[in-house]
C-alpha cells in the first residue's frame, strides 16, 4: 500500500491531484482544513495496487527459491500457494477497510459518505460519488446519470430478431417464478408464448414450472440437452416469444458456466437476462461477475427487492456489470410483482430507507 499526503487549495482540487498521482482506485484516509500560512486542505490518500503487481518480486525477496538444474525458479505449487496467501491478505484488508475505515472528510461530505455506506454502496464507489457531488441533491442526479448512461447501452438493434429470452442466475434467484411472471405479462400484451425449461437438475423443478404453465394456460417443453432445446425452439415456430428457464447453480462452478456457453454455440439468437437477488450477499453477487462475465448477458434484473432492507447493491452491480436493467421483482405473486423500471425509479430504490 502506498500512502501519500497531498496539499491543495480546496478539497476538489486535492481529489483530482490524488487521482492524478495515485490513480482512480485510491482511497482517502483523511482530510484536514489547515490554517498555517494561509488556508489549504491536506488530504492523506492510499492505494494498495502494489500488492498484486509485485507478487513475483516480493516472492523473490521473501522466499527461498527452488533450484532447478542450477537455475533459480519458483515452483508452480509455491506460486499458487503464495497467490492464495496474497489473495487472503487482500480480502482481510478489504474487510478491515469496510468495517473500520473511517475517512476524515469535511462534515457535509462525511454525512454523504455515511448516507451511501448505510445503503450498502461500496466505499470506493461512495468516495467517487461524493467527489462528483457538492450536496445530496447533486448526489441523486450523479447516481441517476450513472444509471442512465448504463441503461443507454441497451442492445436494442437486433432485439426484434430474438424471440427467445433465457433467464439465468444463481440458485434461487427467482428464475422460474420470473419466467411465469414474464409469460403472463406477454400473454396480457396479446403475444403467443412458448415455455421451455432446461432445469432437469433439481428435484421438483419440472413440476414447479409445469404448475405455472398450467395456471397460465401455456404449452411447456422440458429439455435436458442442447439438441432437444433446438427441437423445442423449432417446434415453437408459431410463437412470438419463448421464455427459457435454466437451472440455478453456484456461478463459481465452471461446468455450469460451460454448459450455459454451449447454448450460445447453437447460434440461435437469444436474449439473456441475468437475475440477481437483492437479498443475496452483496460480495457474492459482486464476485459472481467474474463468472457470468464470460457469457453474452444482455440485461440484468434485480429480484426480491421486497426482502432487501438496503438496495445500494443495485448501484454497485450496475457499475460492475455495465448492463441495462430489464426489471425488478418485488414479491412471490404470479402474475404480478414485477416492475419495468427506469433510472429514476432505480435511483429512488437505491437511496430509499427501509424495505418497500
**Binding partner of residue 347 among ligand GTP, Mg ion, none, CB under 5 to 8 Å per kind?**
none
CA angle 331, 263, 232 (to 5 degrees): 80
- Between 138 and 306, whose beta carbon lies closer to ligand GTP? 306
- Between 122 and 175, whose beta carbon lies closer to Mg ion? 175
- Between 176 and 313, whose beta carbon lies closer to Mg ion? 176
- Between 303 and 343, whose beta carbon lies closer to ligand GTP? 303
Let me know how long the chain is.
356
- Between 202 and 319, whose beta carbon lies closer to ligand GTP? 202
Question: Residue 258, CB half-sphere, CA atoms under 13 Å: how many?
Answer: 3
Provide, rounded to whole angstroms, the least separation between the CB of residue 281 and ligand GTP: 16
Among positions 188-247, residues that touch Mg ion (CB under 5 A) are none
**Binding partner of residue 331 among ligand GTP, Mg ion, none, CB under 5 to 8 Å per kind?**
ligand GTP
Provide, rounded to whole angstroms, the least separation between the CB of residue 329 and Mg ion: 13
Contacting positions for ligand GTP (CB under 6 A): 169, 171-177, 199, 202, 205, 247-248, 303-304, 306-307, 329-332, 337
**Binding partner of residue 298 among ligand GTP, Mg ion, none, CB under 5 to 8 Å per kind?**
none
**Binding partner of residue 197 among ligand GTP, Mg ion, none, CB under 5 to 8 Å per kind?**
none
State the cell numbers at 26. Answer: 485510491
Provide, rounded to whole angstroms, the least separation between the CB of residue 57 and ligand GTP: 44
Q: Which residue is nearest to ligand GTP (CB)?
A: 248
State the cell numbers at 275. Answer: 437475475
Provide, rounded to whole angstroms, the least separation between the CB of residue 47 and ligand GTP: 39
Provide, rounded to whole angstroms, the least separation between the CB of residue 23 and ligand GTP: 38
Provide, rounded to whole angstroms, the least separation between the CB of residue 13 and ligand GTP: 45
Backbone angles phi, psi at 108, to 5 degrees: -65, -40
**Binding partner of residue 280 among ligand GTP, Mg ion, none, CB under 5 to 8 Å per kind?**
none
176 binds Mg ion (CB under 5 A): yes
Backbone angles phi, psi at 137, to 5 degrees: -65, -45
- List residues near Mg ion by CB under 5 A: 175-176
Amino acid at each position: 500500500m502506498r500512502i501519500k499526503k497531498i496539499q491543495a487549495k480546496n478539497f476538489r482540487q486535492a481529489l483530482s491531484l490524488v487521482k492524478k498521482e495515485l490513480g482512480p482506485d485510491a482511497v482517502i484516509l483523511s482530510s484536514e482544513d489547515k490554517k498555517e500560512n494561509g488556508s489549504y486542505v491536506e488530504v492523506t490518500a492510499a492505494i494498495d495496487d502494489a500488492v498484486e503487481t509485485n507478487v513475483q518480486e516480493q516472492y523473490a525477496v521473501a522466499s527461498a527459491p527452488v533450484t532447478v538444474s542450477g537455475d533459480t525458479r519458483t515452483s508452480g505449487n509455491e506460486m499458487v500457494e503464495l497467490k492464495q496467501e496474497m489473495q487472503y491478505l487482500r480480502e482481510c484488508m478489504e474487510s478491515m477497510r469496510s468495517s473500520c475505515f473511517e475517512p476524515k472528510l469535511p462534515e457535509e461530505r462525511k454525512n454523504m459518505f455515511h448516507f451511501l455506506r448505510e445503503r450498502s454502496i461500496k466505499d470506493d464507489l461512495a468516495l467517487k460519488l461524493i467527489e462528483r457531488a457538492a450536496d445530496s441533491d447533486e448526489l441523486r442526479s450523479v447516481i441517476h446519470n450513472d444509471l442512465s448512461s448504463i441503461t443507454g447501452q441497451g442492445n436494442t438493434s437486433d432485439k426484434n430478431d430474438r424471440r427467445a429470452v433465457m433467464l439465468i442466475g444463481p440458485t434461487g434467484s427467482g428464475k422460474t417464478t420470473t419466467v411465469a411472471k414474464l409469460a403472463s405479462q406477454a400473454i396480457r400484451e396479446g403475444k403467443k408464448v412458448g415455455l421451455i425449461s432446461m432445469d432437469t437438475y433439481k428435484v421438483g423443478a419440472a413440476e414447479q414450472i409445469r404448475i405455472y404453465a398450467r395456471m397460465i394456460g401455456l404449452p411447456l417443453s422440458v429439455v435436458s440437452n442442447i439438441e432437444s432445446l433446438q427441437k423445442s425452439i423449432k417446434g415453437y415456430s408459431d410463437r412470438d416469444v419463448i421464455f427459457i428457464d435454466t437451472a440455478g447453480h453456484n456461478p463459481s462452478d465452471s461446468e455450469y458456466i460451460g454448459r450455459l456457453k454451449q447454448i450460445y454455440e447453437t447460434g440461435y439468437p437469444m436474449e439473456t437476462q441475468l437475475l440477481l437477488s437483492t437479498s443475496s450477499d452483496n460480495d457474492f453477487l459482486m464476485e459472481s461477475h467474474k463468472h457470468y462475465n464470460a457469457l453474452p448477458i444482455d440485461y440484468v434484473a434485480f429480484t426480491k427487492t421486497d426482502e432487501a432492507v438496503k438496495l445500494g447493491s443495485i448501484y454497485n452491480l450496475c457499475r460492475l456489470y455495465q448492463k441495462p436493467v430489464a426489471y425488478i421483482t418485488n414479491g412471490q405473486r404470479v402474475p404480478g410483482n414485477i416492475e419495468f423500471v427506469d433510472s429514476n425509479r432505480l435511483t429512488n430504490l437505491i437511496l430509499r430507507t427501509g424495505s418497500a
